[in-house]
Amino acid sequence: MEPTITELEVEIIPEISENPSIVQNASHSYYYPFVSHSIPYFLDAAKRMVTDLDISTCAAIVGIIFVPALYFLHLVALFYGKYRGHHPRQYDSSHPGVSIIKPIIGIDDNLYTNLETFFTTDYHKFELLFCFNTQDDPAVKLVESLIKKYPDVDTKMFFGGERVGLNPKINNMMPAYRIAKYPLIMISDSAIYMRSDAISDMVHTMMSNEKMALVTQTPFCKDRKGFAAAFEQIYFGTSHARIYLAGNCLQFNCPTGMSSMMKKDALEECGGFAGFSGYLAEDFFFGKKLAARGYKSGISTHPALQNSASVTMRSFTNRICRWVKLRMAMMPQIILVEPLQDCFPSGLIISFSLNYLFNVDILTTMIIHTAFWITSDYMVMYRMQNRKMTLSPIRFLLLWLLRELSAPLVFIKAALEPSVRWRDNVFHLGLGVAE
């Protein structure tokens, strides 16, 4: 039986007698005690909920926070890629010269084409500095033929390097760095195919801010034939591009050294190239040490077009494993995150979390999650390509599925084999050991 008005009035009389001010509006006076009692009630309820939390509930809450954060990175990469990507540039004659250092070991079918793009760049003031470990490297004759073809290009070759630390790439480039005559230093791997206006674009980015000291190109791949080449392009156009674009937009330190440009004066403040010879992942520490001195880093609007003709599934897997090992050595905390950040592990996390907390159907969540992931990955790769995709939708889907399904296996392989084989050297890494 519902209480009568008289009973309600009886219940609120003590409150009215203790606090006469609430009688100011007699028609609503009995709501005020309810509000005053509700606030502590909800606080008590919140305390009880926190007290009653078990491990499963906490894990589900963490999952609901973690996976939407990954969705956020997708959106950041999409919008930043559209804002930042592929702006045509013409060189500005007032911009400084660039010393382009190219470490080279060995030869493949695309090397001549890749190197020639640097001889034909439309930038007004640059020098090409080629670094070889030995004079009998098969690529030496190829470079010599390009020098004869383009005699007006300022070019020098160096052999043997200079041992200043454990990093073989730094050792190889040291002689070129010492004699570089321009204020901007560019490091470009031999497999990079350069657009004619790409150097102008990197310099434009560098000169856009007085404190800018490091500019990199987002790693991507030129269109090539073959299954392994297409698989590599999928990786760099989706998973890697997403993290690289979002990381640079959010100002995380994540530079890749395959195509990077730095101010020599800023490098000298950090000890020059020799100051980074004790690190295997010198590109990461370029960004870290420059940032510690107040310098900024940014990305060029053109991607770094990798164009190696000798890529195989084995060489690609070994390369990605090496990167994972270096990340684990430098930042051991990522062991808890990296294997969970791909599509299917994160899909399982959000599906079971929503099911546990809100009884949402697991299969429905997994389908929506996967559809969002593959759609956004396709759009990111489209931004990187900046034109009609050369891969058919079916081939993209199959390669994408293989990439996502193999990612946990690559991580496990990297975790179980902490040694890094780099050229003729083997390095044994420990957790938290960055040198």
Question: Residues 399, 234: contact at Cβ < 8 Å?
Answer: yes
Residues of the chain with CATH 3.90.550.10: 87-217+258-310
Amino acid (one-letter) located at 138? P
Q: Which DSSP symbol is given to 254? A: -
Which token pair is 53? 């939390």
pTM of the full predicted structure?
0.85
Pick from 90, 110, 60: which is nearest to 203 by CA? 90
The CATH architecture of the domain made up of 87-217+258-310 is Alpha-Beta Complex (3.90)
Residues with Cβ within 8 Å of residue 124, at least 6 apart in sequence: 91, 93, 95
Q: How far apart are CA 293 and CA 121, in angstroms?
A: 32
Mean pLDDT by 10 residues, the chain (435 residues): 42 42 39 48 55 83 96 97 90 95 96 98 97 96 98 98 94 97 97 96 96 98 96 97 96 92 98 94 94 96 96 93 86 82 97 94 98 97 91 96 95 84 66 48
CA distances from 187 to 131, 210, 398 (A): 11, 21, 35
Q: What distances in angstroms separate CA 248 from CA 67, 77, 80, 216, 252, one per listed residue?
A: 20, 9, 9, 10, 6
pLDDT at 200 (0 to 100): 96
The per-residue pLDDT for 275 is: 96
Give the separation between CA 81 and CA 298, rounded to whole angstroms. 13
- Residue 277 burial (CB count, 10 A): 22
Handedness of CA 49, 50, 53, 57 (dihedral sign): positive
Q: Is the four-CA dihedral 19, 23, 28, 29 of positive or negative sign?
A: positive
- CA-nearest of 227, 221, 224, 219 to 395 is 227
Choose, from 189, 197, 283, 377, the residue flagged as catalytic: 283
What single string gives the DSSP state of each residue in 277-294? Answer: TT-S-HHHHHHHHHHHTT
**Quick check: is 361 catalytic?**
no
- The span from the CA of 232 to the CA of 384, in Å, is 14
Taking a C-beta distance cutoff of 8 angstroms, is the pair 386, 83 a contact? no
